[in-house]
Structure 1
């Protein structure tokens, strides 16, 4: 019995690198310092003061930008005197048959999945920031939000749009709509949010 408790205690003092699976004993760094994997230099622990409030504010902002970017015109394309404005939702529902399924899948990856991930993060962090007990199912919610990370493809969509615009710029007149700039801002904010979040600190807060 004592041996099992000792093994459990030892496991609780270990942390694995999410990139290369190297295992280390947890040594919590001081504020503004970071614990980095010696093998692949991935940041393992990076505690920051008031990071929870900043993450919630950024998540709410990105949610608003996602909704607005889905509705407002993304591009204005003109050729032969004819111009057409298109939003992300217009593009998703413009096709039928197999292409409709593909468009809805793209919409899910660039809009629905990021929104789900942000709402789960807000659900998890709000009680923690307010120094209250974790919300029901918070650990499962945060684990699910982390599993959605590879399927959140807003950045890939932005790169794909950039490549497509270069190719069609010689064939038609292309103007960026307000949704394009909103999408550019939210992509940057998503990257900053992922960099700012210390997952170890979130798990530790949920456990206590």
Structure 2
């Protein structure tokens, strides 16, 4: 990749990126944000991991994930049966979240990577490659296969003292799928793939366009100031995300409102010998703690109580940080933003634990688990906090920092 100008998508610093070779990467000189990483074998590695992940995804849906034995009664669950159990219990919204985040979104993302990598490997221009590139970038934050695997492990520990649990073939396929999917994400670099796409179409290398140029927030391409759409991925160009603060505030308030019923109402309802026992998130944590399952209790408490509160506080601080005020530390807030993005989806662990228990324990009055209304509120809270973080334009923090530095004569 030859040297060219690039703007950091997080701090908006204009900088010249030196020529890179396979195996090298570049980061922003001001905020340390990743700019581009070129794998030693970018197309072969992307194809191998993506195709392997797709095969493992299919296998994870064909066989049982878990088998359970209680008092001579047997039960087993598959991935698809877990979604069906939620639909049968009139919790279709939670089923949609499960299928979208663990099955459909990763499948579409992997197909997009295979499509792009095959075309670029054999130097073929196929229809819609730029739109496929943009789609892959937009889908990446919403994949939660690894979170689902953690949910399975938490469920195993939770049920170990109550029943005999056996791992099915699909569990191992799901575990390997989550690893292969993570590796695909690591190998895939939108800027590098986009650059190769430019070369394939015979477009000239990015020119030095100066301070007025606009960087695409999706793929990082450096566009001329008058451009309305990105020349690489066709995403709409804006100097800053439109209505970023108002959208983040609105989504944050919605998430907080959903968090209230998520903690007041039952997360799940357990039926044993005809008696139904509802349990909220905190009651579930206390029950696990009293049973001696300290690691599981800590995991559920962190994922379901601590992380949401941290996200609420973090997004609030980020929105307030865009105002001019003394001792404004843009780099610290940028790191806070990255942390908020990183932990956002892990709160879904508790929802997936409920999904697994509902699908696995359905033995009538002997023992059955049903989802509670809090599962819907909690899943909605996770989605809205993720949307709030994604809607926030971190470059606004640096705008405030630059304005403050300018007023101080720096």
Are 1:128 and 1:205, in contact at CA under 8 Å, matched by a contact in 2? yes
* Partner deviation per Cα, 1:147-182 (whole Å, 9 max, x = no partner): 011111111111222222222222221111111111
Are 2:65 and 2:76, in contact at CA under 8 Å, matched by a contact in 1? yes
Aligned residue pairs total: 196
- Partners of 1:50 and 1:158 lie apart in 2 by 29
Q: Residue 76 of structure 1 corresponds to which residue in structure 2?
A: 67
- Partners of 1:63 and 1:47 lie apart in 2 by 23
Q: 2:110 aligns with which of 114, 118, 126?
A: 118
SS at the partner of 2:76? strand
**Structure 1 gap segments, 5+ residues each:** 1-11
Are 1:155 and 1:187, in contact at CA under 8 Å, matched by a contact in 2? yes
The residue correspondences of 1:8-47 to structure 2 (distance < 5 A) are 13-18=4-9, 22-47=13-38
- Partners of 1:150 and 1:84 lie apart in 2 by 34
Q: Residue 102 of structure 1 corresponds to which residue in structure 2?
A: 94
Higher relative contact order (CA 8 A, sep 6+): 1
**Structure 2 gap segments, 5+ residues each:** 200-410
- Partners of 1:163 and 1:65 lie apart in 2 by 22
- Partners of 1:22 and 1:170 lie apart in 2 by 55
Q: Point out the structure with max Rg over C-alpha.
A: 2
- Partners of 2:21 and 2:175 lie apart in 1 by 34
* Partner deviation per Cα, 1:83-141 (whole Å, 9 max, x = no partner): 21210011111232531332233022101110011111111221110022x22111111
| Range with greater deviation from structure 2 (35-44 or 182-191) | 35-44
Residues 90 and 137 from structure 1, CA distance in 2 versus in 1: closer, same or farther, beyond 3 angstroms? Answer: same
Residues 170 and 135 from structure 1, CA distance in 2 versus in 1: closer, same or farther, beyond 3 angstroms? Answer: same
- Partners of 1:168 and 1:20 lie apart in 2 by 47
SS at the partner of 2:64? coil
1:91 aligns with 2:82: yes
Q: Residue 8 of structure 1 corresponds to which residue in structure 2?
A: none
Are 1:28 and 1:45, in contact at CA under 8 Å, matched by a contact in 2? no
Shift of 1:40: 5.0
Residues 49 and 157 from structure 1, CA distance in 2 versus in 1: closer, same or farther, beyond 3 angstroms? Answer: same
Q: Residue 173 of structure 1 corresponds to which residue in structure 2?
A: 164
Are 2:137 and 2:190, in contact at CA under 8 Å, matched by a contact in 1? no
SS at the partner of 2:91? helix
- Partners of 1:140 and 1:60 lie apart in 2 by 21
- Partners of 2:155 and 2:44 lie apart in 1 by 37
1:131 aligns with 2:123: yes
